[in-house]
Amino acid sequence: MLMTLMVVPTRDHAQRPFSPQDFRALEERLRTFGGFQVIHGVYGEWATPEGRVYPDESRIYRTELPVQRLPEWLAVVAWARRHFRQEEMWVEIHGQGTVRGP
């Protein structure tokens, strides 16, 4: 099994908050992996190459899935990146697994 983490901002680059419907759409996709956990209120900052610093509040979504489903999860990450209008998304993948059977 793999444990995956995806950091999702609560606001866009213009500081407009994303709606509850935006997060429900993501959560519906993550639920297809059997469920998820979410940590609210994660604070951080990111800086442009020019040195401008942006404060950021995010949610961290944690999901467990078999290694065979990793491509599906990565497709959800790609959808989230587009949906939440991000140039990049921070993700982590932990664990190990073997692919067996059909």
Choice between 62 and 88, residue whose per-residue pLDDT is larger: 62
Mean pLDDT, residues 35-63:
92
**If you average pLDDT over every residue of the chain, what do you get?**
92
Distance (Å, whole) CA 77 – CA 92: 11
> What tokens does 50 get?
């020019």
Whether 27 shows a pLDDT value over 80: the answer reads: yes
Q: Residue 90 corresponds to which amino acid?
A: W
pTM of the full predicted structure?
0.86
CB atoms within 10 A of CB 4: 23
Cα–Cα nearest to 61, from 96, 32, 26, 88: 26
How confident is residue 77, by pLDDT bands cut at 50, 70 and 90? very high
User: Can you point out the beta strands (E) in the chain?
Assistant: 2-9, 37-47, 53-65, 90-95
Cβ atoms of 9 and 83 within 8 Å: the answer is: no
Cβ atoms of 67 and 99 within 8 Å: the answer is: yes
